[in-house]
Amino acid sequence: MTKEKLLNLNKSEIQKQIMKIKKEKNCFIMAHNYIDVEIQEIADYVGDSLHMALEAAKSDADLFLTCSIKIMGEAVKILNPDKKVLMAHKDADCRLANMKDPSFLNKLKAEHPEAEIVCYVNSPAALKAESTITCTSANCIKIVEAIPDNKEIIFVPDCNIGRWVEYKTGRKLILPDSFCYVHDRVSIEEAFEVKKQYPDYTLLVHPECNLEVCKFADVVCSTSQMIDFVAKNDKAIIGTELGLFKQLQARYPGKNIVYLSSEMVCEDMKKNSLENVLTALISEEYEVNLEESIIHRTKESLDRMFEIVR
Ligand code: 13P
C-alpha cells in the first residue's frame, strides 16, 4: 500500500498498520503522558520524559519512536546513544526550552562561577550539558536539598518550578525568567473558582504553575504522581496539560475527575497525530542526532541526579 493510501485509512486501520510496521521493524514506541489517547493506545510505553528514556534503555528494539516534543526525544537519545531515535513530528518543540538561547547560562555562570547548576529535565540538551545536575518535577526539592547550604544554586530553565523549590526548601536560587506558557497561564482566580465549584475534590497542580497557584493547591506534583494519586483516590482536579486529564478519563471512567482549565493545551504536543506516527515509522525521518560531547556532558549531569534519586 502506498503512503498516500495508508493515510486515507480510518483511525483503527491506521492503528493496525502502525502495529504491523512496528512489529516488522522491531520498533519501540513511546508516548508522553500529554499525548492523545489514540496514540497512547499503540505505544509500548506511556510516561514522563525521564521514564520514556529509561524504558527505552531496557528494550532491545532496533528502532525507537518518540511521540512527544524534541527535548524529550533528546533525553531518549542521551540515555540510548547507540540507538536510532525518531520523532513522530519534525517540529514539535518546547516553548519553555526555547524561550531563552542556552547561552544565557554563560552569563550567569560567569557571575556565579562556584554555583551548582541544577537543570530541569524538560530542557534542551545544550542547556543540560552546561549543568552540573539534572532534576525532574518529581525530585526537584530532593535534589536542591542535597546540595550543601553554602553553595550558590543556579536553577534553569523554569522559574516557576524554581520558585516552588525556593518556597519548599527555604533556599535562595538564581533563576532565569523563562516559564511554560501552558502552566503559567492558570491564574489564582481560576484555581479558586474551580475549587469553589468542587470543594471536596483534591486540587493537584504541576510545579510549572505559578507560585500563587502552587501554594493554593492541595498537592503539587509531577504528571506520574498525578496518575498514581488518581489510581488510589477519587475526586481530583487535574492541574496540568489537558492530555493527562484525557488519559485519566480513559483509564478510570468511573472516577470523578475534572480539569483545572481547558486552556492548558500544549500546541506542540498536539502536533503529534496517528498519521505522523505512521509516516515517521514508514519513512524513518526526523532522527534525533546530538553531538557526542553534548551526550557525554549531559549524561554526567543525569548521573549525578541518579546518585541522589533513582
Ligand atoms: P513531568 O511529566 O516530568 O511531570 O513533566 C511533564 C511536563 O512536560 C510538564 O510540562
Task: Report the CATH number at residue 216.
Answer: 3.40.50.10800
- Residue 173 covered by a domain: yes
Task: Please check whether residue 309 lies inside any domain of the structure.
Answer: no
Q: How far is the CA of 240 from the centre of ligand 1 (A)?
A: 8
**Closest ligand 1 atom to 47 CA:** 2
Question: Domain range for residue 131?
Answer: 96-181
What is the signed CA dihedral for 213, 53, 24, 86, rounded to 10 degrees? 80
Q: What's the gap in Å between 50 CA and the centre of ligand 1?
A: 9
13 CA from centroid of ligand 1 (Å) = 31
Q: In the chain, how many domains are there?
A: 3
68 plus 13 within the same structural domain: yes
Query: How confident is the model at residue 101, as a pLDDT?
Result: 79
Of 160, 181, 202, the residue at which a domain comes to its end is 181
Tell whether 234 and 251 lie within a shared domain: yes
Give the model's pLDDT for residue 9: 87
Domain contains 300: no
- Residue 204 pairs in a beta bridge with 219, 238
Query: Collapsing DSSP states into helix, strand and coil, what is residue 46?
Result: strand
For residue 91, how far is its CA from the centre of ligand 1 (angstroms)?
A: 19
Ligand 1 atom nearest to 206, measured from its CA? 4
The residue among 181, 200, 232 that closes a domain is 181
In ligand 1, the atom with minimum distance to the C-alpha of 50 is: 3
Residues 175 and 194 in one domain: no
- Ligand 1 centroid to residue 48 C-alpha, Å: 6
Task: Give the Cα separation of 195 and 95 in Å (integer).
Answer: 29
Cα separation of the two ends of the chain: 45
Q: How far apart are CA 249 and CA 22, in angstroms?
A: 27
Q: Same domain for 12 and 88?
A: yes
- Do 243 and 192 sit in the same domain of this protein? yes
Which protein residues touch ligand 1 with a CB less than 6 Å away? 33, 48-49, 122, 136-137, 180, 206, 208, 222-223
Domain presence at residue 296: no
> Residues with Cβ < 8 Å from 220, sequence gap 6 or more?
164, 204, 205, 206, 207, 209, 214
Say yes or no: 227 and 279 in one domain: no
Q: Select from 72, 240, 245, 305 the residue to mutate for testing ligand 1; criterion: most ligand atoms less than 8 Å from CB.
A: 240
Structural domain contains residue 79: yes
In three-state secondary structure terms, 67 is strand
Nearest CA to ligand 1 atom 9: 208
How many angstroms does the Cα of residue 119 sit away from the middle of ligand 1?
14
Task: Out of 30, 32, 33, give the residue to mutate to test ligand 1, the one with the largest number of ligand atoms within 8 Å of its CB.
Answer: 33
Q: Are residues 163 and 205 in the same domain?
A: no
Cα–Cα nearest to 117, from 310, 293, 300: 300
Same domain, 88 and 113: no
Domain for residue 119, yes or no? Answer: yes
- Domain membership of residue 299 (yes or no) is no
DSSP-derived secondary structure letter, 269: G
- Of ligand 1's listed atoms, the one at least distance from the Cα of 69 is 8
Does 83 map to a domain?
Answer: yes
Dihedral Cα 94, 97, 207, 106, nearest 10 deg: 180
Atom number in ligand 1 closest to CA 136: 3
The position carrying cell 494519586 is 229
Per residue of the chain (310 residues), what is the pLDDT tens digit? 676 777 788 999 999 999 999 999 999 999 999 999 999 999 999 998 888 888 988 999 999 999 999 999 999 999 999 999 999 998 999 888 877 777 889 999 999 999 999 999 989 999 999 999 999 999 999 999 999 999 999 999 999 999 999 999 999 999 999 999 999 999 999 999 999 999 999 999 999 999 999 999 999 999 999 999 999 999 999 999 999 999 999 999 999 999 999 999 999 999 999 999 999 999 998 999 999 999 999 999 999 999 998 6
Centre of ligand 1 from the C-alpha of residue 89, in Å? 19
Which of ligand 1's atoms lies nearest the C-alpha of 121? 3
For residue 290, the CA-to-ligand 1 centroid distance in Å is: 22
What is the predicted pLDDT for the residue at 6?
A: 73
Distance 232 CA to ligand 1 centre (A): 20
